[in-house]
Amino acid sequence: MDHLKLVHNEINVGDIMKLVSSPSCGATSLFVGTTRDNFEGKVVKRLVYEAYEGMVQKSLKTLCDDIRSKWNVHGIAIYHRLGEVAVEEASIVIAVSSEHRAESLQAVQYAIDKLKADVPIWKKEEYDGDATSQWKENKESSWIKTEPEENVTPENPESLK
């Protein structure tokens, strides 16, 4: 079963592990992405995430189907925070269970790479000490256009269609 959620509160990693665990599985692999406190010499206060929610759910379902076509996995859970995420808090948790470790490890790596490339979620870094912030571009994003003025942003999600 797949558990796919966008949430506005803290993510409990243990609860997500329980969603995918099974007596038939000998491995549960996790990726936990957290907010770090620095970027290029600036002190990061927090991250702010926004998403084109309808497209995110569709993209995550497609991602899970793709994973299941490549590896023999039991459970998949992908939880992503929206809104403000403080330093050291989890913004994303991906958990995959399988009979053996190779499948779940490969599936988790694939999931985070494809999520960053294909899922319309935007991240803004807010810095300490001043009022500046910066929307971050995922270099892997398949939906980033070549012309900067045409890039998909939280304010312009319709350009994804």
Alpha helices in 9-134 (DSSP H): 13-20, 53-70, 101-118
Residue 89 known to bind ligand: no
| Secondary structure of residue 67 in the 3-state scheme | helix
Residue 123 known to bind ligand: yes
Residue 81 known to bind ligand: no
Q: What region, left, alpha or beta, does residue 155 occupy, with left being phi > 0 and alpha being psi -120 to 50 degrees?
A: alpha
1-19 per-residue burial string, b: 16 or more CB within 10 A, e: under 16: ebebebeeeebeeeebbeb
Residue 80 known to bind ligand: no
Residue 114 known to bind ligand: no
Residue 101 known to bind ligand: yes
Q: What region, left, alpha or beta, does residue 129 occupy, with left being phi > 0 and alpha being psi -120 to 50 degrees?
A: left
Binding residue positions: 100-101, 116, 123-125
* Binding-site residues for substrate: 100-101, 116, 123-125
